[in-house]
Amino acid sequence: MVLPISENQPLRAALFALGGAAVFSVNDVAIKLLSGGYALHQVILIRSMISLCVTMAVIVVSRGGFAQLLTRRVGPHAVRVSCILMANVTYFLGLAVLPLADAVAVAFVAPLILTALSGIMLGEPVGWRRWAAVAVGMLGVVVMLRPGLGVFQPAALLVAGSAVFYAMGHVMTRRMRDTESSVTLNFWVQIGFVVISLAMGLSVGDGHLAGEGMLAFLFRPWVWPPSQDWPVLLATGLSVGIGGLLMAQAYRSGAAAMVAPFEYAGMPMAILWGLLFFGTVPDTVSAVGIALICGAGLYTIRREWALRRRNGN
């Protein structure tokens, strides 16, 4: 799954990002369904092992074979794995408490953060209009946090923090794109997840640190999954394996500031999944926040395509 890289592949990058966002939305539903009965690190371990099977299958049929897993960029891989791990842990802890659509909406500030970081850390052009879009998106997050309304949920701060780690992970993807394939990037992330989850299981998997609420999700004892839960566990593993490959290829194929807003395709799917599986819909305040965040992202898309038409790309 090593495709030629060019800065003039916006359509390919957009399609990969749209596909990745759609597939990742299944993972959110699965994790939320599992959050009431499993430790987070147990779910991540099972998910990562299934995802590794997907990655290995792609390696077998891809042109580079297993040789593409070799890397000399151990340090950057470690930083990227750490960022993505922290993004996952903080996001899923918040997701266990928040309505699905609210959690996804707050997390969608990540593409806006990435737009800003692409200018600061990658040297990609980010004009004042995109900076304005970032500001509007952040305003949407503040609206959803609801300061002063007496309904503030600390879990939303966890999700906002996950957005920062997620954006940093994609900055590392962009920096490593010239030497690492999407298969390589996804493989080492899943290996990192397996190692860390096993370490967590061996040290706290007996549940001696389990508490209430989010702490229960983080530290409850491991259990053997009953047969009815295996389809959900399989869904989360397949969604991460396939979605990770698609999203990594998207960020290898196009500028980060152009690719990031296409992840907003997951927002309508989150609203749909929330209604179908949990019977929840965004209230008025949440709807305003969602509109600000998604509107800022959609404006960024429009601006990117306008610039590309003007430059003849």
Q: Which two tokens stand for residue 247?
A: 């999203």
CA pair distance 144, 292, nearest whole angstrom: 10
Q: Is the pTM of this model over 0.85?
A: no
Query: Which range has the top average pLDDT, 5-14, 96-105, 225-234, 236-245?
Result: 225-234
CA pair distance 239, 225, nearest whole angstrom: 19
CA pair distance 293, 174, nearest whole angstrom: 23
Q: Which of 20-29, 36-45, 269-278, 295-304 has the lowest mean pLDDT?
A: 295-304
Res. 292: pLDDT tops 60: yes
Average pLDDT over residues 87-94: 92
Give which of 243, 186, 226 is closest to 68, Cα–Cα.
Answer: 186
Res. 6: pLDDT tops 60: no
Q: pLDDT value at position 2? A: 44
Res. 46: pLDDT tops 80: yes
> What single-letter DSSP state applies at residue 212?
S
Q: pLDDT value at position 34? A: 93
Segment 152-208, tens digit of pLDDT: 577 888 998 999 998 898 888 888 877 887 788 888 888 999 999 999 999 999 988
* pLDDT above 70 as % of the chain: 90
Q: pLDDT value at position 3? A: 45
Res. 304: pLDDT tops 80: no
Q: Which of 79-83, 97-101, 183-187, 257-261 has the lowest mean pLDDT?
A: 257-261
Average pLDDT over residues 94-120: 83
Q: pLDDT value at position 235? A: 94
Q: Which of 131-145, 249-263, 267-281 has the lowest mean pLDDT?
A: 249-263
Q: pLDDT value at position 193? A: 93
Q: pLDDT value at position 262? A: 79
Find out whether 96 and 35 touch, Cβ atoms under 8 Å. yes
Average pLDDT over residues 114-129: 74
CA pair distance 110, 88, nearest whole angstrom: 13
Res. 223: pLDDT tops 80: yes
Element (H, E) at 233: helix 230-253
Find out whether 203 and 96 touch, Cβ atoms under 8 Å. no
